[in-house]
Amino acid sequence: MTTDPMPRFPAGFLWGVSTSAHQIEGAAEKRERSVWDAFTDRPGRVADGSTAAVACDHYHRYREDVALLAGLGVDAYRFSVSWPRVNSPGGLDFYDRLVDEVCTAGVRPVPTLFHWDLPVTLDWRIRDTAFRFAEYAARVADRLGDRVPSWITLNEPAEHTLLGHALGVHAPGEELLFDALPVAHHQLLAHGLAVRALRAAGARDIGIANSHTPVRAASDAPADREAADFYDLLLNRLFADPLLTGRYPRGVAELMPGDVAADLAVIAEPLDFYGVNYYAPTSVGAPTDAPSDAGGVPVPAGLPFSVRQIEGYPVTDFGWPVVPGGLAEVVTGLRDSYGDRLPPVLITENGCSYPGLDDQDRIAFLDAHLRALHGAVAGGVDVRGYFVWSLLDNFEWAAGYARRFGLVHVDFATLTRTPKASYHWFRELLKAQR
Ligand code: IFM
């Protein structure tokens, strides 16, 4: 890691950390069940057999967690609102208290309205879910809108579609493969309807958090390049194109349910910012006879692509390659592809899983990604903020508690929070950026 000082980001750059409700809140008995509760009840679905029933117990310890945010000196806190909790008595009261606490700490609350914990009674395969989501967004905005300046509708609809509905390794555990495409469309429609509902409730700063992975063809062979282009379409363009251009990539609209032309006008409601979650690039080649592995996710044979190992980079303890330049590549690529249609970008997630309190590897990861991002900003890409994933070690979905992304260590037996070396490093970085 270089010892040169971190270059300065532009004045007003928003520094933050991210979390999500299901991964940290616990207090499952005080809310409706979500698809994730049902999924974790199925034996063998979560690596360590754990559930998020208690998680970090943030529901009861949010004051301690907000004090950690304040101590870090961040400008903004991205958290998510649990739809099943809002459906339950007293649920909105919790977010009321949380938002008050965050504001009192001088931190800007940035809620995400959907981070994968769909009420178990709902189903994204059904179009009506999009309309229910807009109603829910309006309820939350009605209650919190007087203190919340910025809103995020959905987190990573690509992963929720692919992992949850196409491959079945996340909740709700459907293995629909390409029949999962309506799930993507209904989430995008939900996003557009929610943007309208939030604006009608007076919200002025609205975006989405989309995951992006630069896709690298395994070789120059035409079959590898074709497979990589298709993967790029599925993971990146399927979600960015309709939002930013009002069109699906060629060939996709025909696969969506019904006539989607009118829906696309809703989906393309102008955004105030575009959130990017970046973790790693993906190497993709032509289909193989055997299943492949995408960062721990088994990709079955029989699809029109296979996922390959990226060689030549260190890996996190999840096995994900550490490629800081990929972050610059994503934001530069978005600017080049979408031009003026791309609103200002916020990096809504970036981080890594490593064990230990003296997490020098996490410091090196964040340092290198920020330097790469700075290069893109200096090159003219309009990036306005950066959020580390995550404030706390938490329930890492199908990996359970074994993968630790936090700046703050959580002992899941005692729920004691201990800031890691990366927490102190990030605090000093923020001080130097002021
Ligand atoms: O923990 C997740 C988060 O919920 C969504 N983005 C990726 C993170 C790390 O896997």
The predicted structure's pLDDT at residue 360: 98
Residues with CB under 6 A from ligand 1: 20, 23, 156, 277, 349, 389, 396, 405
For the chain, how far is it from start to end, CA to CA, in angstroms?
22
- CB neighbours of 195 closer than 8 A, spacing ≥ 6? 153, 206, 269, 271
C-alpha span between 224 and 42 (Å, rounded): 37
CATH dotted code for 14-433: 3.20.20.80
Reported as half-sphere exposure (CB side, CA atoms, 13 A), residue 102 has a value of: 24
Beta bridge pairs of residue 215: 282
CA 191 to chain centre: 14
pTM value > 0.95: yes
pLDDT at 296 over 90: no
pLDDT at 374 over 90: yes
Ligand 1, from 116, 278, 279, 389: best to mutate by most atoms within 8 Å of Cβ? 389
pLDDT at 419 over 90: yes
Beta bridge pairs of residue 18: 78, 389
Separation of CA 220 and ligand 1 centre (Å): 31
Angstrom CA distances, 346 to 12, 150, 193, 268, 303, stand at 12, 12, 22, 18, 33
Reduced 3-state DSSP string for 347-381: EEECCCCCCCCCCHHHHHHHHHHHHHHHHHHHCCC
Max CA-CA distance within the chain? 58
Residue nearest to atom 4 of ligand 1 (CA): 20
Stretch 193-199: mean pLDDT, rounded? 98
Separation of CA 396 and ligand 1 centre (Å): 7
Domain boundaries along the sequence of the chain: 14-433
Of 20 and 253, the structure prediction assigns the larger pLDDT to 20
C-alpha span between 280 and 184 (Å, rounded): 22
C-alpha span between 134 and 82 (Å, rounded): 14
Instruction: For strands 417-419 and 297-299, give the pairing.
Output: unpaired
C-alpha span between 404 and 242 (Å, rounded): 34
Cβ atoms of 113 and 152 within 8 Å: the answer is: yes
C-alpha span between 326 and 320 (Å, rounded): 12
Give the atom of ligand 1 at the shortest distance from the alpha carbon of 351. Answer: 9
- CB neighbours of 220 closer than 8 A, spacing ≥ 6? none
Tokens 């959905």 correspond to what residue?
Answer: 154
Give the atom of ligand 1 at the shortest distance from the alpha carbon of 349. Answer: 6
List pLDDT tens digits, range 306-365.
999 999 999 999 999 999 999 999 999 999 999 999 999 999 999 999 999 999 999 999
Q: How confident is the model at residue 216 (pLDDT cuts 50, 70, 90)?
A: very high
The predicted structure's pLDDT at residue 135: 98
Separation of CA 397 and ligand 1 centre (Å): 8
List pLDDT tens digits, range 110-140.
999 999 999 999 999 999 999 999 999 999 9
Q: How confident is the model at residue 169 (pLDDT cuts 50, 70, 90)?
A: very high
Q: At what angle do helices 360-378 and 421-433 cross, to 10 degrees?
A: 30
DSSP H or E segment with residue 419: strand 417-419
The predicted structure's pLDDT at residue 297: 87
Stretch 229-258: mean pLDDT, rounded? 95
